[in-house]
Structure 1
Amino acid sequence: MVGNPDFQTGRGQDQAPELQELETPEGELHLRFYISSGEEFALPATGIRRIIEQAPDRITPVPNVSPLLLGTLNEQGRVIWVADLGQFLGYGSPLNTDRSEIPVIAVEDQGTMLGLAVNRIVGTEWLDIDELQVSRNYPDAMAPFLRGEWVVDPDHNRTLRLLDQVAILRSARWAA
């Protein structure tokens, strides 16, 4: 095979006549998702440890903890606390747990891991940090956890808010 001249020159049967250029994505990779209120958010992909789809009965409730916490789950031998991200951010409507699976985004910083239960995960997208804007159109309870927002649809006033997972992990709200 190595002695084959087609192999050495890059020509062969399965070689396309023209090489397609790979597009270099602009910005940074983010995970987009919705919370129970219908608001859309994003987290930097670099801060996400894993995405878990769990049945609600696999999340074990724990008594005498913050009401923001749904409980714990065991993921590959590691216990992960799971929180309702919408309620943590100050939205009143709790996450609907009456369904077959709940999407949980596990974020980690310096060995501390937390699962953020969300309503629906959209997927990943490359987003330009330079286009991030600062707005005052959000609840005060959310302010310490926001990095900014992208305007997705100016005609309908739709934004995509970027969360700071480290600020969420280190929040004093977990002790409440």
Structure 2
Amino acid sequence: MFSSSDLLTGDQQMQGGQMDALKAPEGDLHILFSIPCGISLALPAIGVREVIALTPDRITPVPNTSPLLLGILNLRGQVIWVADTGQFLGDETPINTDRPEMVVIAIEDEEMIVGLAVDEVKGMEWLDSDTIRPSSNLNDKMAPFIRGEWVLDLEEEQTLKLLDPITILRSARWGA
């Protein structure tokens, strides 16, 4: 067996400090985003089909449906429902659809797919599930969908809440 350093030339081996940046990441990859009230959330990347930036007029409203749903979206020939993620989680502030571009995170499990409209995508990050703690200060509508949280800044009480995409997809709330 050989290591990656065996593949390096003499000059490259001397620059060992630069090789430290190439270490394998710890934890699982997550997509980070926020909802209109400012809560920061994360979804495991494994359950995310794709992230779509689109103009709001590409979402077609459907009358007589749940107020949580913004409408439907044609995603490469497949029609998917798009939800206001904040309102789904109990936030009273609706997502602003009067802007040039919206972001929808398409989550899927088996044959089920739903688009979650979010306020802002903040990026992707490797997060260690071993450092997650039980969530605090959750409203009753949000609690069933949160697995826990990471503490980002203890002094300012900033947290990153981990959503459970399977629970969201299978929620009875969609029929409400």
Q: TM-score normalized by structure 2?
A: 0.89
Counterpart in the other structure of 1:73: 73
Distance 1:73 1:54 in 2: 10
Aligned pairs, number: 166
Q: CA offsets, 1:3-49, max 9 Å, x none?
A: xxxxxx875xxx84646252110111000000011110000000000
How do residues 53-72 of structure 1 correspond to structure 2 at under 5 angstroms? 53-72=53-72
1:24-173 equivalence runs, <5 A:
24-173=24-173
Distance 1:173 1:17 in 2: 57
1-structure distance, mates of 2:55, 2:12:
45
Indicate the RMSD between aligned Cα atoms, in angstroms.
1.6
Indicate conservation of the 8 Å contact 2:135/2:146, yes or no.
no
- Secondary structure, counterpart of 1:167 in structure 2: helix
Q: Verify the 8 A CA contact 2:135 2:161 in the aligned structure 1.
A: no
Aligned counterparts of 1:72 and 1:123: Cα–Cα separation in 2: 25
The SS at the match of 2:141 is helix
CA distance in structure 1 between the aligned counterparts of 2:8 and 2:26, rounded to whole angstroms = 29
Q: Structure 2 counterpart of 1:156, which letter?
A: E
1:114 and 1:62 map into 2 onto residues whose CA distance is 15
Q: Does 67-76 or 15-24 show the bigger shift?
A: 15-24
- Runs of 4+ in structure 1 over 6 Å off: none
Stretches of structure 2 that go unaligned for 5 or more consecutive residues are 1-6
Deviation at 1:137, TM superposition (A): 1.2
CA distance in 1, matches of 2:134, 2:151: 10
Per-residue CA distance 1:116-140 (angstroms, 9 max, x = gap): 0000000100001000000331111
Letter of the aligned partner of 2:78 in structure 1? R
Unmatched 5+ residue regions in structure 1?
1-8
